[in-house]
Amino acid sequence: MKIDPKNPADLSAQIAKAIRDAIICGDLPVDERLPSEAELAEQFDVSRPTVREALKRLAAQSLIRTQRGATGGAFVNRLKFEDAYGQQITTSTLLLSMNEISFATACEARYALERACAPLSATRRTADHLATMRAEAHRQNQPGLTDEAFCASDVAFHRALVDAAGNPVLSYQLAGAVEAMQPLMNMITFSARSREKIVSLHTSIADAIEAQDASAADESLAALAQYTQKLAQDVIAERQAERS
């Protein structure tokens, strides 16, 4: 862990890497206290600001938490799924917005992953998940809803569907795919007619999940995927027509 080549640049990155590796390989167990900043500075033979920059890098990844005071210091953080969700969503969102990912590609990925969850959700869904899905579908029927609120409710519906699979790893992976789509979805203006169709498909999905009918759920999801793609195509075509 005390590896530090004579390269006097990126010292804070090197130190962060050394500590990160120690955490990943298990040398530093969860809740273990790191040496104080002054001690680390001495160990690595650098100044305290440099150590602090390294620690801030780790804090940005939720690998450590810091506490002030006499018994304070930096502690190895138990990375929780909730913490990871946020990073996952931020990263996914930026990946989509910065890499010219087409709506079609993102949409395909999202629904492919969601359909992977559906059979498990059909088997394991609880009353709680079902209630959330029903409530969101109901909300989506309210006439006064803005497009943004409609999309947010859509995300909540699909989150519940994914969470119903009862597999935290799946929920974590899907969080990025589903939530990162929201900005793209917000660019679509939903007509009353299209909302009606979507809510009807959501209801079909909820029905299938309630009946624990995996293949029916898959069918409805596939139909929803297809319809969403079609909606997006129409909107894009309409905008191009307007432009000319």
Q: Counting runs of H as helices and runs of E as strands, what totals does the chain give?
A: 11, 2
Q: Which is nearer to DNA, 8 or 29 (CB)?
A: 8
Using CB under 7 A as the binding rule, whether residue 46 contacts DNA is answered as: yes
Residue 86 binding DNA, by CB under 7 A: no
| Interaction of residue 56 with a second copy, rule CB under 8 A | yes
What is the size of the binding site for a second copy (CB under 8 A)?
A: 57
The 8 Å CB, 24+ separation contacts for 72-77 are 73/33, 73/34, 73/35, 73/36, 74/33, 74/34, 74/37, 75/31, 75/32, 75/33, 75/34, 76/23, 76/28, 76/29, 76/30, 76/31, 76/32, 76/34, 77/30
* Contacting residue, 28, 55, 118, 151, with DNA by CB under 7 A: 55
Site map 172..191 versus a second copy, x via CB under 8 A: xx--xx--------------
Q: What tokens were used for 115?
A: 């359909």
Which of 43, 93, 186, 212 forms a contact with a second copy (CB under 8 A)? 93
What is the C-alpha separation between 222 and 201, in angstroms, rounded? 10
Helices (DSSP H) in 181-213: which residue ranges? 182-186, 192-210
The residues binding a second copy (CB under 8 A) are 12-13, 16, 20, 23-24, 26, 30, 49, 52-54, 56-61, 63, 78-81, 84, 87-88, 90-99, 101, 105-106, 108-110, 112-113, 115-117, 120, 165, 167-170, 172-173, 176-177
The residues binding DNA (CB under 7 A) are 8-12, 34, 36-38, 45-50, 52-53, 55, 66-74
